[in-house]
Structure formats: structure tokens, C-alpha cells
Amino acid sequence: MSGVKKEEAMTGVNGSSKTAVMRGSAEGNGMDAEAHVTAERFSVFYHNREAVRQVSLAIPARGVTAIIGPSGCGKSTFLRAINRMNDLVPGCRVSGRLVFDKEDIYGPRIDVVALRRRVGMVFQKPNPFPKTVFDNVAYGPRLCGLTGRAQLEEIVERSLKSAALFDEVKDRLGQNAIGLSGGQQQRLCIARALAVDPEILLMDEPTSALDPRATSRIEDLIAELRGKYTIIIVTHNMQQAARVSDRTAFLYEGNLIEFGPTKQLFTKPRESQTEDYITGRFG
Amino acid sequence: MIRFQLELSRLRRLILEMGADVEDNVRDAMKALERHDENLAAIVERRENETDEREVDIEEECLKLLALYQPVAADLRYIVGVLKINEDLERVGDLSQHIAERAMAITRGGEAPGDVDLARMASKVTNMLARSLEAFVDLKPEMAREVRAGDAEVDAIHRQHISILLEAIKARPESADVLLNVMHISRHLERIADHATNIAEDLIYMAEGEIVRHK
């Protein structure tokens, strides 16, 4: 299934070693103990075009990291690299290292299925399966081999509660999820991602298809989840990045221009390119 | 975003016009004192009423820009700075009117004692105010730092005035009214210097993003 080749070594996509993506020890140098995902001169190419250019940054565990930048700056490509969604894109290859718990995500020992269980993703448009609300949330746990009804019910309830959706759908768990509103569908997708108990939640423009009220509910939810998960969100909406994130990375033409505390980046950016972008003078 | 830049230019023009008016008012209030000029005192009062209106207009303009454009970084600091400078200028306007009122009371009641040099103090204070506004116009944090440094000198002059005037009141209790008015004018000038210092500090924040107050 892999279309992604790594420059130094081909990646063994279906490696059987599940330990490769198990949680790394907290020992080691301070930076490793803190960082959950670390990019080291990490690049992503689509054929000859370098969409992400030698990006180096360390995303700490828990909290919310926002990635901003104009269209085509590589922010979604970078996000999707973290759970290897770009594997499906023809002509896509990477160089450098992208480390998750001390293991290179593109290393030969990675089990992509296990990786994606630990790194959940929520997309721009809500994409529930045309199944019942219950089956949507139970989908991941079932795929992991869980069959006990009671256990599934417990996971579904807990996940829907974590996604702040349970009270709204508890009486219609057996109904088709397509009947939910857009905002509810998006929270269902978050519940579905949470059901397999991931450590990282990637969000690619999670509210761009939602109205302001539904957007505000998702933002509240992100604030609730930030203590438990490492959340990385790509957004075009700079005010949203400023509201929900602890740290912000600004990418421009594939390069990481600035990465720092959100409060500092939006009041006193270090780089003039960041200043120009966030104040609307270019981009 | 061209529209937003035009709006910022307009805001800048509004606050500078207000600053120029307020500067004139402080100078005219002191002239009114010097010349016992009631007409000038009346001009100060009229101009102060206009300043109050300007203050409200500028505040509304700032709130509009914050709500409509949700500015960040230097733009955000600029608008927040203007909001604060606006308040300081309005207070300076009030103080200039208070000086003019005291000046008229002194006109009716007698002379200020010669050993209290209000003119020298006023010259320092108006210079601080002018330079704080100049620092704002040209976005010059170095000049703003000089203004901040001048505040201690004005404070010292005011303290000196208080002790001279207290002695004078003891010696000439029948002139207490006049002497108290003079003391109030000294106090108003000292407060104007404080506001000029605030403006300078706001400018440093606008230019450099650092809050230097209380440092």
C-alpha cells in the first residue's frame, strides 16, 4: 500500500513488529522526554517538488499545537505525514526523520496500522461511515478485534462523552449517522478517533465546513481534550489557531519560519515573515 | 487588507489631531495663568469639550477595528496603544482645564509666590508631552525612553514646590487660597508629566512589544 519511499531506505510498511510503535520510554535526553513528535530536517516530496523542506521541530506531549500558513505551504502535508496518510499519494517520498516516541515513523520497523491507531485523524469535512452512530464509534475497536457487546458499549459511551456528543445522541445510537448535523457528525468523527484510545489527534481544518456555533463547540472540545492528548491542528483560521493552541508553527513555501508559544507568536512574532502573514500583508 | 491599512492611517490622523489640540491646551492654560487671560481660559475650556468628543470617537474607532479585523502582532499592539494614549490625552485635556480654572481663581485672589517657578516646570512638562507625541509619530522608542527619564525631574520640582508652599501657607495663612491653587497647578503639571510618561511607555510597547511599565 505504500507509495511513499524514503530516500535513505525503503520503508517496510507492513512490518510485523508492533513494538516499534509502542510508547517509548521517557528516559534519554530532556528533549526526547518532552517531545512527542520530533521532525529532524524532515522533507516531503511529491515527485520532484519539495512540499515540506527540511523542517525541524519538537512537538511536546499533550497540549495543542497549531500549524498555520497560506495554501500550499505544506502544513497539511506535514500533518498527514505524522500518520503516514501521504503513503497513498503517488510519487510521494520523504527524507530526514520524523520521530514519534523515539521511533522514526518512516523507519523499517513501523507497523502503519498500529501507528494510525495511536495517531488518530479528523478531516476537514465530517466523514462518518453510512452506519449507525454506535457502529461508527465501535468501528475502530472492532477492527482491533474487540467483540464483546458490553465492552463495546462502554467504549462507545466513553468516546461519545469525551467528544461532548453523548447527551445529544444517546437515544439514537441505532440511527444512521448521516442524519446528524454537520457539527454533530464532526464530533462523531472525533469520538470515532478517540475510541481506539490514540495518543495523538491530528486535525486538518476540522471546522472549516462548520457554522460558527458548531465551530465553537469543537473548539471547546479541543480545550477539554488538550490535557489528555497531543493535538496537532492545521487551520486557515488564524483566530482559531490563536484561540485553541498553546504553540503555533508558521510554515511558508514548505519552510518552517517560526515555531513558538501562540501568545508570543500572535502578539510579538520574532520573524518579519510571520508578522507579514498574520497581519495580512501577504499570503 | 488595504482597507485595514487605510483605517489605521485614519486612526493615526485622529489621535495626532487630538494630541496637537491637547498640547495647545496645556500651553494656553499656562499662558492664561501668566497673563490672567480669561478669554484664553475660555478657549481652553471649549477645546477641552472637543477633546472629550474626540476621545469617544477614537475609542469607538478602535473598538470597531478590533471587532471587524481582529488584528494581531504589530497591528494589535498599535490599536491597543492608541486606546491607551487616547485615555491619557483625554486626562491631560482635563488637567489643562483644571489649570485654567485655578489660574482664574488666582487672578481674582492675587499673585503666585515668586519662588515657585511654575513656568519652568510647565516648560519641562510640555516638552515631555510634545516629545512623547513626536516619539509616537515617528515610532521612536529611544525618544520615548528619554521622556520616561524626565519624569523623575518633574516629580522633584513638584516636591520642592510643596515644601515651599507649605512654608508660605504657615507664614501667610491669609493667602492660603492662592497658595493652595498654586499647589494644585503644580500637582496638575506633575500629573501631565505622568501621562506623557504613560504615552512614552505605550509607544515602547507598540514598537517593541515589551511592557516597560513599573520597570
With respect to residue B179, please indicate whether it lies within any of the assigned structural domains. yes
pTM of the model: 0.80
Residue B112: pLDDT band (50, 70, 90) is low
With respect to residue B213, please indicate whether it lies within any of the assigned structural domains. no
Position A5 pLDDT exceeds 60: no
B113 touches chain A (CB under 8 A): no
Placement of cell 497647578 in the chain: B185
The mean pLDDT of chain B is 93
What is the distance, to the nearest Å, from the Cα of residue B65 to the centroid of all Cα atoms in its chain?
A: 25
B70 touches chain A (CB under 8 A): yes
CB-CB neighbors (< 8 A) of B75 in chain A:
279
CA distance B151 to chain A (A): 28
A267 touches chain B (CB under 8 A): yes
Residue to test with chain B: of A245, A267, A271, A277, most B Cβ within 10 A? A267
CB-CB neighbors (< 8 A) of B1 in chain A:
279-281
CATH of the domain at B173: 1.20.58.220
With respect to residue B214, please indicate whether it lies within any of the assigned structural domains. no
Range of the domain at B178: 2-208
With respect to residue B176, please indicate whether it lies within any of the assigned structural domains. yes
- Rounded to whole angstroms, the Cα distance separating A272 from A266 reads 12
Q: How many CB pairs under 8 A join A and B?
A: 30
The number of folded domains in chain B is 1
CB-CB neighbors (< 8 A) of B71 in chain A:
279
With respect to residue B32, please indicate whether it lies within any of the assigned structural domains. yes
CB-CB neighbors (< 8 A) of A242 in chain B:
72
Position A134 pLDDT exceeds 60: yes
Position B67 pLDDT exceeds 50: yes
Question: For residue B175, what pLDDT is reported?
Answer: 87
Position A11 pLDDT exceeds 80: no
Nearest to B25 by CA among B116, B109, B134, B100: B100
Q: pLDDT tens across A157-205, in order?
A: 999 999 999 999 999 999 999 999 999 999 999 999 999 999 999 999 9
Residue B203: pLDDT band (50, 70, 90) is very high
Q: pLDDT tens across B118-128, in order?
A: 999 999 999 99
- Asked whether the ipTM of the predicted complex exceeds the cut of 0.85, the reply is no
What's B25-59 look like in SS3?
HHHHHHHHHHHCCHHHHHHHHHHHHHHHHHHHHHH
More confident residue, A240 or A24: A240
With respect to residue B215, please indicate whether it lies within any of the assigned structural domains. no
Residue B1: pLDDT band (50, 70, 90) is low
CB-CB neighbors (< 8 A) of A272 in chain B:
none
With respect to residue B183, please indicate whether it lies within any of the assigned structural domains. yes
With respect to residue B69, please indicate whether it lies within any of the assigned structural domains. yes
B72 touches chain A (CB under 8 A): yes
CA distance B140 to chain A (A): 18
